[in-house]
Amino acid sequence: MSQTAEIGVSGLATMGRNLARNLARHGHTVALHNRTAKRTRDLAENFADEGTFVPAESAEEFVRSLERPRRIILMVPAGKATDAVIDEFTPLLEQGDVIIDAGNAHFADTRRREKALSDMGLNFVGMGVSGGEEGALNGPSIMPGGPAEAYESLGPLLEDISAKVDGQPCCTHIGADGAGHFVKMVHNGIEYADMQLIAEAYDLLRQGLGMDPAAIAETFTGWNQGRLDSYLIEITSEVLAHADAETGKPFVDVVADEAEQKGTGRWTVQAALDLGVPVTGIAEATFARSLSGNRTLRDAARSLPGVSGARLEGAAAEGFADDIEQALYASKIVAYAQGFNEIQAGAEEYGWTIDLGRVASIWRGGCIIRAKFLEEITAAYEREPKLTTLLTDSSFVEAIGGAQDSWRRVVASAAQLGIPTPGFSSALAYYDGIRAERLPAALVQGQRDFFGAHTYRRTDRDGTFHTAWATDDRAESEA
Ligand code: NAP
């Protein structure tokens, strides 16, 4: 077989198939490979009119069909399957060839694989792809990591098939080794937080104001015309407006209220814990899914005393929907600020140079968290690339300043009505925490020193101190 294909895709389930079709539709000749050859044949036959495919039955045939340096995109499940496919290809490749893992790998695995392949003279690119099957076909947001020289040859091709916003591709080289998968992981974590906040807004409108799903759908449609304009708000309106075909009931009322997860939210929180970055919005969203799915716990707790069925009436209800919009926007800013801080900390820890403004900019299209609001984040990092937190950027200071009273009213009302709002409440607690002049952490330090002689620092002089708590005079000594 002659070397005719510019790029190859191995793993042709939903995502791989659509990515291969996207490449072909953009005029690139695409080699195809899949463990089960039937998928390869089906794709080449059913979509032959979309471009040029070079189907291969074996890994050897697939590799032979590729131009050099060879570029192979893997779209298989993260973990063992990815290692198995890499092990199958590496003996067939030559110096300078590039393997691109476009699955949802953990960034630590990507770092390990990048090191192993670079020792063999191969380039390994861990690439985050967001946008689900629709994005893969019509333009995803693409977050490639790996060596800069691999991006030089690969970048134009990826930018070609990515989503575009204002003519700009939603794809950029994120940084070395695992940076792309790290950023994709945090993207997914932020997605969890955003979805949870929207779900809490729905719950408050439903339980707190007694609105029905169709009316709430209209409220979200209205919000989608303003600063909350985003894919997630848009699909929320559609889901809420949908009626179940069989029963005619609102769709949301016939779906089991147990949220599932594939693990990227959990990874984001685990990495944040290791880095010491508080991502309370993502953590609360991940735990809220776990809580919802813990049927045993919920059944055991169902009869616990509390407020239920209460709602705001009359004057108290007036303007509450607008308050919720404000609380949602403010909490969303906090969740994103925390996510960007995690990326910043990851970059520092692992030695990546990541342009945070560019990251926000490539999330404006193609991906699940695409939103108008991301333009504000790009602008903030353009104003100050080393911003400690997005919350101190002037545009967000103004937005939160305006939202603040509403935000506090919503959190207080939710507590009084017995409506759980872990996302809204923790976002406000974080906001109040970081801006506090003094935190009760001083007392925690005292407790730690008392039971464990863990020492403390003082506000009035340098040094590390310990108090002899067990003695009568409780004398302080420098540790
Ligand atoms: P998938 O169900 O994760 O994977 C199925 C594909 O992997 C099939 O082509 C299968 O081949 C192949 N495969 C599985 N185990 C293999 C092994 N041990 N050796 C060789 N090939 C193996 O497919 P997907 O939903 O299209 O997702 C692909 C990747 O993209 C995953 O890492 C996923 O996390 C990521 N991703 C998915 C989405 C999404 O919205 N679905 C979004 C972004 C990223 P056979 O046909 O032979 O079974």
State whether the beta carbon of 13 lies less than 6 angstroms from ligand 1: yes
Whether pLDDT at 395 is above 80: yes
Output the CA 103–ligand 1 centroid distance in Å: 7
Helix axes 320-350, 394-417, angle to 10 degrees: 120
Give the confidence band of 308 by pLDDT, cuts at 50, 70, 90.
Answer: confident
C-alpha span between 25 and 23 (Å, rounded) = 5
Q: Is residue 142 packed enough to be buried (19+ CB in 10 Å), middle (13-18) or exposed (0-12)?
A: buried
Give the confidence band of 51 by pLDDT, cuts at 50, 70, 90.
Answer: very high
The residue whose CA is least distant from atom 33 of ligand 1 is: 103
State whether the beta carbon of 79 lies less than 6 angstroms from ligand 1: no
pLDDT score of 420: 98
> Counting every residue, how long is the chain?
479
Output the CA 238–ligand 1 centroid distance in Å: 28
Read off the pLDDT of residues 204-239 as tens digits, 9 standing for 90 and up.
Answer: 999 999 999 999 999 999 999 999 999 999 999 999
Read off the pLDDT of residues 81-131 as tens digits, 9 standing for 90 and up.
Answer: 999 999 999 999 999 999 999 999 999 999 999 999 999 999 999 999 999
Active site residue 61: no
Q: Which residues fall within 8 angstroms of residue 362, CB to CB, at 6 or more apart?
A: 141, 142, 143, 162, 169, 170, 171, 172
Q: Which residues fall within 8 angstroms of residue 369, CB to CB, at 6 or more apart?
A: 130, 187, 190, 191, 194, 230, 231, 232, 363
pLDDT score of 353: 97
Nearest one of 359, 332, 375 to 192, comparing CA atoms: 332
Contact 385, 356 (CB under 8 A): yes
- Ligand 1 atom closest to the CA of 105, numbered from 1: 32
Average pLDDT, the chain: 97
Type of residue found at 413: S
C-alpha span between 14 and 9 (Å, rounded) = 12
C-alpha span between 354 and 3 (Å, rounded) = 35
Read off the pLDDT of residues 117-136 as tens digits, 9 standing for 90 and up.
Answer: 999 999 999 999 999 999 99
Given ligand 1 and candidates 10, 21, 40, 76, which is best to mutate, with the most ligand atoms within 8 Å of its CB? 76
What's the token pair of residue 289?
């899914």
C-alpha span between 367 and 279 (Å, rounded) = 21
pLDDT score of 3: 64
Whether pLDDT at 1 is above 60: no
Active site residue 191: yes
% of the chain exceeding 90 in pLDDT = 98
Read off the pLDDT of residues 400-441 as tens digits, 9 standing for 90 and up.
Answer: 999 999 999 999 999 999 999 999 999 999 999 999 999 999
What's the token pair of residue 85?
């496919």
State whether the beta carbon of 36 lies less than 6 angstroms from ligand 1: yes
Task: Name the pairing type of β-strands 141-144 and 123-130.
Answer: antiparallel
